[in-house]
Amino acid sequence: MLVLASTVATLGCSARQSASTQAALTAAPGEDRRERLFVDSVLAGMTLEEKVGQLNQLSGLGAPTGPGGAPAGIEQIRRGEVGSFLNVVGRDTVVRLQRIAVEQSRTHIPLLFALDVIHGFRTTFPVPLAEASSWDPAAVQRSARIAAAEAAAQGISWTFAPMVDIARDPRWGRIVEGSGEDPYLGAIMAAARVRGFQGSSLRDPGTIAATAKHFAAYGAAEGGRDYNIADVPERTLRDVYLPPFQAAVCAGAQTLMAAFNEIDGVPAHAHKRLLTDILRGEWGFDGAVVSDWTGIGELLNHGIGGDSASVGTLALNAGVDIDMVSEIFRKQLPSLVRAGSVAPQTLDEAVRRVLRLKYRLGLFQNPYRVGDSAHVQGVGLSAENREAAREVARASIVLLKNDRNTLPLSKDLGTLAVIGELAADSGAAIGNWSALGRGADAVSVLTGIRRAVSPRTRVVHERGASPMDDDSTGIAGAVRIAMEADAIVLVLGESPLQSAEAASRADVGLPGAQLRLAQAIAATGKPVVVVLMNGRPLAIQWLHDNVPAIVETWFLGVEHGTATADVLFGDYNPGGKLAATFPRVTGQVPIYYNHRNTGRPPTSEKYTSKYIDVPWSPLYPFGHGLSYTTFRHGTPRASATTMRPADTLRVEVDVTNAGRVAGDEVVQLYIRDDVGTVTRPVRELRGFRRVRLAPGETRTIVFAIHVQDLAFHDAALARVAEPGTFTVFVGGSSASTNQLRFRLETADGNPVRVPGTCAGVRETLLDISNPGQ
């Protein structure tokens, strides 16, 4: 029996459809019931092998993202042995393969086409860690929306993004792919990216399904070493690492990806408590879980399950629905189901989730989703998209230091020396995970500077040193041009190859001979501005001590050089804030602002928690970022000195631009639970707002505090808010001492339970237009 085909004869596809399927599409009065009837009607007509095929994901064309994957054959599509592809890109290729699935397979079920669309598709936006430093979720949502439209036009229906892993250790290379160290900021950005990718309706052909990854605690890898274990207590898991995932689920994320790591001895791909009990039971998630690349097969390396059949059983029973490239499900599940080792109902439920995703994407109605050739050509690296990338890039730049008002530079200098290999590297500008972005389309720092300065300014460049090797032979030439210059822009940092997946670093200082280069240039006595390009916080104590101005630009994408020049020459006043703490030395990591206290907090006394060779404090704290103007924060005011669980406490603060130029300030609100039944962080971010103020302008910023902002998991792992005093800090970084105090009172003096489901997630967490309002 022919179970299903497209209902629309798009691009020449003939429409074939069973009567039961047609009835399911047209007769059901509600969308949920319509979806259920439709999916069940498709499932009922499938053979065991066809069901298993829906759980099989293979890598096609494109660069592999891990070992062990082999391209699929056309016959596998015809036999219904594959349900989705990754790394197949391009309208014509997608249409050709989709036509085989819907016209030549027995079930006519369309394929899913997935790709790692991380920070842009054809138009490359800043890497996620940079975008998080904008503290502007509306801009982040816009960049994801543009990326989705570009990817969808080329046949992509599903992205493996956003990565929402909290990362407290900058040695871990994949910190560049997420939003940094804080669960609140991470949750806000997770929701923004999901909404950007998925839009208001997944049936809009310009949207793609989002994947929150890597579930969970992947960013807690021991030693910052990628793929390593994560030894995380459940309270820390729930209070720190899970909130961004729950925010993504509550924002509508259709899929999650399991993590490579283990948690407390159980690998994530076999973690039923995580994938089923928490994700589906507590949070009500009804989407699909995809493995990471060969993640199911790698359970053998973890040492659980003695063969492929065993680990396939463990993964499916735990809640993994889609097997990425290992083909263990395809090869093992049919015999396991027939032998009774895997319950048919378990298999059916996994298949339902895959079919449900395809239904929600509208693939059964329009399996091709892409427009005609003219439409595809009009969606891509347009002037409008480049301008959007420039806007986000400028907002993501963080001014770390600016002594003696070294910045902004004049555009009318005699000679400006630009030094550093990265300065001329447009390929580095687009960063890693760049999809179809091309370095040739990107603006390097050197090009951006040359375009920005006056025709009378002579711009000279020398390589100096590379981050990729220890060759110092270019330093002498760099010193020579520095001696001739009126000012120097020294571009230092990392190659994109030194961050992201499989790129952990034991030393997060400047790689290669770059520190020697910096020391030689600083010794010239000329004004020096350091521009950093990097994918993680770096240990740059020497630069801080010896260079007057430091600008953190990360990898900003296709308009990197333009945005950097905008900031260097004062056309844009930087307003970004750090989403991750900068250590003084690598030996301080992991280092993060929302740590818990010890019995001997660090002081000048000897027997306290500190180092004897470096200060215990960070070089630059979370939330740090300077401006070309000065902002003054007034004393915060609360609407009451006590609140009850049902109350909303309003906190107001007057923020004044006390300088001479307009600028953006990110006003941040932190809360400390002064006394708890378990130890609590010294402070936690619970609100922020990026505001633009004219010179002399004062604005009153209002934050709303709800009982959810005071909640945590107690000794019994119940999510509660406990009565007592709380200290609120409001200012321009996590180091602010501008504070007030209030008390939470409960009717009986006992803790109150705070729901942990989506219904209990604060609306402000998902309200990306005015976070904290």
Q: How do residues 637-652 score in pLDDT, each as one tens digit?
A: 999 999 999 999 999 9
The pairing of strands 56-59 and 712-713 is unpaired
Identified catalytic residue from 169, 292, 323, 664: 292
The residue among 394, 438, 418 whose CA lies nearest residue 486 is 418
CB 731 within 8 A of CB 685: no
Of 31-35, 76-80, 265-269, the least confident: 31-35
Q: How high is the pLDDT of residue 536?
A: 98
Residue in this structure with the two tokens 């020579």, named with its chain if needed: 480
Of the chain, the percentage scoring pLDDT greater than 90 comes to 90
292 is catalytic: yes
DSSP single-letter state for residue 111: P
Indicate whether 769 pLDDT > 60.
no
**Please, how many CA atoms are within 13 Å of residue 587, restricted to the half-sphere of its CB?**
8
The pLDDT tens digits for 224-273 are 999 999 999 999 999 999 999 999 999 999 999 999 999 999 999 999 99
CA-CA distance, 279 to 214, in Å (whole number)? 13
Residue in this structure with the two tokens 């009982």, named with its chain if needed: 707
What number is the average pLDDT over the span 164-172?
A: 98
The pLDDT tens digits for 265-323 are 999 999 999 999 999 999 999 999 999 999 999 999 999 999 999 999 999 999 999 99
**3-class DSSP assignment, residue 49:** helix
Of the chain, the percentage scoring pLDDT greater than 70 comes to 92
Interacting residues of 362 by C-beta distance below 8 A, sequence separation 6+? 202, 203, 205, 369
CB 97 within 8 A of CB 76: no
The pLDDT tens digits for 509-539 are 999 999 999 999 999 999 999 999 999 999 9
The pLDDT tens digits for 437-495 are 999 999 999 999 999 999 999 999 999 999 999 999 999 999 999 999 999 999 999 99
Confidence of residue 369 (pLDDT cuts 50, 70, 90): confident
Residue in this structure with the two tokens 């804030």, named with its chain if needed: 577
Q: How high is the pLDDT of residue 671?
A: 98
DSSP single-letter state for residue 410: P
* Mean pLDDT of the chain, nearest integer: 93
Interacting residues of 754 by C-beta distance below 8 A, sequence separation 6+? 707, 708, 710, 711, 719, 720, 721, 760
Q: How high is the pLDDT of residue 265?
A: 95
pTM value surpassing 0.85: yes
Between 31 and 201, the higher pLDDT residue: 201
Interacting residues of 571 by C-beta distance below 8 A, sequence separation 6+? 452, 565
The pLDDT tens digits for 740-757 are 999 999 999 999 999 887
Q: Kind and range of the H or E element at 653?
A: strand 649-657
550 beta partners: 401, 530
Indicate whether 28 pLDDT > 50.
no
Q: Kind and range of the H or E element at 642?
A: strand 642-643
Confidence of residue 211 (pLDDT cuts 50, 70, 90): very high
Neighbours of 32 (CB within 10 A): 9
What Å distances lie between residue 593 and 137, 484, 489, CA to CA?
A: 21, 43, 31
CB 706 within 8 A of CB 648: yes
Angle at 453 between CA 451 and CA 456, to 5 degrees: 115
**3-class DSSP assignment, residue 47:** coil
Six token digits for residue 224: 């910052």
Q: How high is the pLDDT of residue 30?
A: 74
**3-class DSSP assignment, residue 151:** helix
758 beta partners: none
CB 131 within 8 A of CB 186: no
